[in-house]
Amino acid sequence: MSWNHSINWFEIPALNLERAFNFYNIVLGGHVRKGTFGNGDLVLFDVPFSTGEAVGGAIVVRPDLKPTTEGPVIYINTFDNIDECINRVSVAGGKVIVDKIDLGKFGYSAIIIDSEGNKIGLHQNTK
């Protein structure tokens, strides 16, 4: 058995999918897209997860999932300059709770609260 990633899918809960789409679309500079799976709508991160090149994930509205600031933190690649993403968080309806941190050779990170009330990490893996 071959493993490309130890984590291969994640779901971020939302209360309002359109609001969540707008938030992540603004913060990540358009690197999300609307989609459907089964009978439900979702928002997908624009990464090549189907080829195994990236970990896939979605923003979903489901009755068994609730936004939270507790528990694990999922870090999302910022796709470009993390400073630009951080600057767009409050404009998009979120809050920065840990400003930019220098991770040395691993790039930069920050932690935000998204429009739905989730604690989410942002990560830029280059300097």
Q: Is the pLDDT of residue 5 over 70?
A: no
Q: Determine, yes or no, domain membership for 2.
A: no
**What are the C-alpha distances in Å from 10 to residues 49, 94, 102, 126?**
11, 20, 25, 23
Smallest CA-to-CA distance from 88 within 122, 125, 119 is with 122
pLDDT at 75: 95
Q: Determine, yes or no, domain membership for 61.
A: yes
Q: Determine, yes or no, domain membership for 4.
A: no
Domain count across the chain: 1
Convert the pLDDT of each residue in 22-65 to its tens digit.
999 999 999 999 999 888 899 999 876 777 777 789 999 999 99
pLDDT at 115: 98
Q: Determine, yes or no, domain membership for 3.
A: no
Q: Determine, yes or no, domain membership for 91.
A: yes
**Which CATH number fits the domain that encloses residue 61?**
3.10.180.10
Question: What's the predicted TM-score (pTM) here?
Answer: 0.91
Q: Which domain holds residue 59?
A: 9-124
Smallest CA-to-CA distance from 30 within 72, 103, 92, 73 is with 92
pLDDT at 1: 52
